[in-house]
Amino acid sequence: MKKVVVHSPGGYEKLRIEEHPTPKPEGDQVVVETAAVGVNYADCCVRWGVYESAKKYVGWPITPGFEFAGSVVAVGPQAKYAIGDAVFGVSRFGGYATHVCVPSHQLFPIPRGMTPMQAAAFPSVYMTAYHAVHQLVRIRKNGTVLIHSAAGGVGTALLQICKIAGFRTVGVVGATHKVQFAKDFGADVVIDKSKEDLWQRARAEAPEGYDAVFDANGYTTYNQSYEHLRATGKLVVYGTHSLLPTAGGRINYIKAGLGMLRTPRFNPFKMIVDNRSVVGFNVSFLFDRTDLLDEGMADMLAWIEQGRLKPPGVTEFPFENVSEAHKLIESAQSVGKIVLVHRQPKAA
């Protein structure tokens, strides 16, 4: 089998494709020959050596990747799947590979009408969005929410899941070419911060404040996101992208350090007076919470079958072009999700 291996932190040159033995399943494990694997911004953080769960659970060397789709090629004696089944799944790293071995409960049948590329792009961002909306906070129906990076993978998932929950959605994008994409995934309003004042428009769209703001930007928006909450509002944070590069593939540690110093520290006493909350999470630390994964995936797969939830929009790269995929997702110019696709052999 082939897999991407990162032996030490650094730039794109650290993404090496190597030959390794194909894993053999035991117990309820299943080996999937992948047709496509999802790419997430977190994978870049893994490559840089700044992703905490990667350091805690794996260390170096490491193969990035949280999600994949393909066909079952080997099963353990207690496995819940059969050879030939079309499945997609999640892994705590190790997804950038032609073969992935995981326990049965981390796999799901590919829904009708969903391609392997869409399936490979689905679980990480949609489970992040589901957890944020349904398992982390309580927002009442008809509430108004503000979603930063609304044309990205998590952003488009949040737009849809918030609409299903009955919320009015205000999306924020950083470039004009992303506006229609966000609207296509359910944004009632889109703020293009490349052309208009973000916070002036945000205030105009919700004069009393937002029931929730979903923010992975970091210090550049955390403070104002909090200030634009209504009483009982929640700031939900799941990333700090503003500390990290958008070009070059390497972290500027001086810039990142200054950004950390500028990151707001939320005072619990002030939050009590304000009647506002700040909550943060990282789903890669929640793999032992199978109850959360099962609940979220069951609901979302049902919504897909009902036509209420759209598969993610995807941009495909050949598996060998993993560096180019990382360059694009770091650039903040992509929309939807990026997947690595294994080339199929040509028919004779």
Q: Average pLDDT in the 20-39 region? A: 98
Residue 347 pLDDT exceeds 90: no
Q: How far apart are CA 344 and CA 348, in angstroms?
A: 12
Q: Average pLDDT in the 260-275 region? A: 96
Residue 65 pLDDT exceeds 90: yes
Please list the residues that pair with 36 across neighbouring strands. Answer: 69, 341
Q: Which two tokens stand for residue 229?
A: 């909450």
Residue 59's H or E segment, with its range, is none
How much is the pTM? 0.95
The domain spans of the chain are 2-122+311-341, 125-284
Give the 3-state secondary structure of residue 301: helix
Q: Average pLDDT in the 128-157 region? A: 97
pLDDT in tens, 277-301: 999 999 999 988 999 999 999 999 9
CB within 8 A of 235, min separation 6: which ones?
212, 213, 215, 222, 225, 226, 229, 276, 277, 278, 279
Contact 215, 202 (CB under 8 A): no
CATH number given to 2-122+311-341? 3.90.180.10
Single out the residue of 285, 129, 280, 174 nearest to residue 218, CA to CA: 280
Residue 306 pLDDT exceeds 80: yes
Token look-up 């981390």 returns 106
44 φ, ψ to 5°?
-65, -40
For 280-302, b where at least 16 C-beta lie within 10 A, e where not — what string?
A: eeebbebbeeeebbeebbeebbe
Residue 110 pLDDT exceeds 50: yes
Q: How far apart are CA 88 and CA 66, in angstroms?
A: 11
Q: Average pLDDT in the 195-213 region? A: 98
Q: What Cα–Cα distance (Å) separates residue 98 from each residue in 31, 73, 237?
A: 10, 11, 33
Exposure of 45 by Cβ count < 10 A (0-12 exposed, 13-18 middle, 19+ buried)?
Answer: buried
Residue 346 pLDDT exceeds 60: no
Confidence of residue 344 (pLDDT cuts 50, 70, 90): low
Least confident of 161-170, 248-257, 321-330, 336-345: 336-345
pLDDT at 288: 87
Token look-up 């973000």 returns 198
Give the 3-state secondary structure of residue 280: strand
Single out the residue of 102, 148, 94, 145 nearest to residue 293, CA to CA: 102
Residue 348 pLDDT exceeds 60: no
In total, the chain counts a number of residues equal to 348
Q: Average pLDDT in the 298-321 region? A: 96
pLDDT in tens, 217-262: 999 999 999 999 999 999 999 999 999 999 899 999 999 999 999 9
Q: Average pLDDT in the 328-341 region? A: 96
Q: Average pLDDT in the 19-26 region? A: 98
Residue 345 pLDDT exceeds 60: no
Token look-up 């390497």 returns 250
Of the candidate CATH numbers 3.40.50.300, 3.30.720.110, 3.40.50.720, 3.40.390.10, the domain formed by 125-284 belongs to 3.40.50.720
Q: Average pLDDT in the 311-315 region? A: 95
Single out the residue of 18, 237, 34 nearest to residue 119, CA to CA: 34
Single out the residue of 33, 106, 19 nearest to residue 283, CA to CA: 106
Q: How far apart are CA 204 and CA 243, in angstroms?
A: 29
Q: Average pLDDT in the 24-36 region? A: 98
Q: What is the DSSP string of 143-161?
A: -EEEESSTTBHHHHHHHHH
